[in-house]
Amino acid sequence: MPVTGEKRSVLGVCVDVVDYDAAAGRVMQAARTSQPLAVSALAVHGVMTAVHDPEHRARLNELDLVTADGQPVRWALNLLHHAGMRDRVYGPELTWRVLQRAAAEGLPVYLYGSTEHVLARLQQSFTSSLPALCVAGAEPSKFRDVDDEEAAAIAGRIRASGARLVLVGLGCPRQEVFVWHMRELISLPLLAVGAAFDYHAGLLRRPPSWMQRRGLEWLWRLGLEPRRLWRRYVLLNPAFAIRLLGQWARVWHPPASRPAVDLQRIPA
């Protein structure tokens, strides 16, 4: 039987064994009750960033919900922990399912991150595909770090908007750091959704379903953006596989997690 609803270590990063319904349900419950919930969907890049950065790994392990965004992360959960997961919980798809429920229940959302152009395209897309969805506010990334005072001002704008759910699109790992910090300032679910903004804005094409099922989305993305992404995939994918086999064979042990240290500067 599948193990569900529990966190399991993938190279030292605690990933939740959940499906789409369970993940979306947790987000919506927090949205209805205005409870804090820090959420991220991690692929290989996100896991390997944490492997190389102990402080970031500590922050990820303090998030409330971390889903297996990429098929290799799902495969790792099944290999290491016999999780029995039949599908990943892909960030753009989880975002869409949450937004459908938010629209049906009349819960406003706030969009934080990316550029003004992408946010405008995203809102146009939502107007067409989810006309019942209320966007309470949208704020582009500052593409720099902010201090505690400016972070508090951002949190204040989000709270004042009346939003019940916040989508954060800053890219990995900046968005996870933002969500980790903001969870103490905003009593709402915050979802680090990565490329979901570009996908739902129609600016990034999704790979064919057969590539997604076989864990080849990285190859599709590499073909679209080779100059930007080649290091991520050519270097990190083999390193992930080697460490995964080492953890499975028990010849490599992920380092123990530790409490995250608060930051002086927050990526925004």
DSSP structure string for 50-82? HHH-HHHHHHHTTSSEEEE-SHHHHHHHHHHH-
State the Cα–Cα distance between residues 77 and 2, nearest whole angstrom: 11
Q: Which amino acid is at 16?
A: D
Q: What is the pLDDT of residue 116?
A: 95
State the Cα–Cα distance between residues 217 and 72, nearest whole angstrom: 10
Which residues, listed in sequence order, are joined to residue 192 by a DSSP beta bridge? Answer: 40, 168
> Which residues, at least 6 apart from 259, have a Cβ–Cβ distance to it below 8 Å?
58, 62
Assign residue 40 a region (left: φ > 0; alpha: ψ between -120 and 50; beta: otherwise).
beta
Q: What is the pLDDT of residue 4?
A: 62
- What would the two tokens of residue 97 be? 């399912």
Q: What is the pLDDT of residue 53?
A: 93
Start-to-end C-alpha separation, the chain:
42
The mean per-residue pLDDT over the stretch 110-120 comes to: 95
* CATH architecture, domain defined by 7-199+253-267: 3-Layer(aba) Sandwich (3.40)
C-alpha atoms less than 13 angstroms from C-alpha of 151 in its C-beta half-sphere = 21
Q: What is the pLDDT of residue 1?
A: 40
3 state DSSP class of 43: coil
Q: What is the pLDDT of residue 206?
A: 79
What's this model's pTM, rounded to 2 decimal places?
0.91
pLDDT tens readout for residues 45-95: 999 999 999 999 999 999 999 999 999 999 999 999 999 999 999 999 999
- Taking CA atoms, 8 is separated from 79, 115, 229, in Å, by 11, 35, 28
State the Cα–Cα distance between residues 148 and 263, nearest whole angstrom: 9
State the chain's mean pLDDT as an integer. Answer: 91
**Domain ranges (residues) in the chain:** 7-199+253-267
CB 251 within 8 A of CB 153: no
> Which residues, at least 6 apart from 156, have a Cβ–Cβ distance to it below 8 Å?
none
CB 75 within 8 A of CB 17: no
Q: What is the pLDDT of residue 84?
A: 93
pLDDT tens readout for residues 158-201: 999 999 999 999 999 999 999 999 999 999 999 999 789 998 98
Q: Is the model's pLDDT at 2 over the cut of 70?
A: no
The mean per-residue pLDDT over the stretch 240-266 comes to: 88
Q: Is the model's pLDDT at 208 over the cut of 70?
A: yes
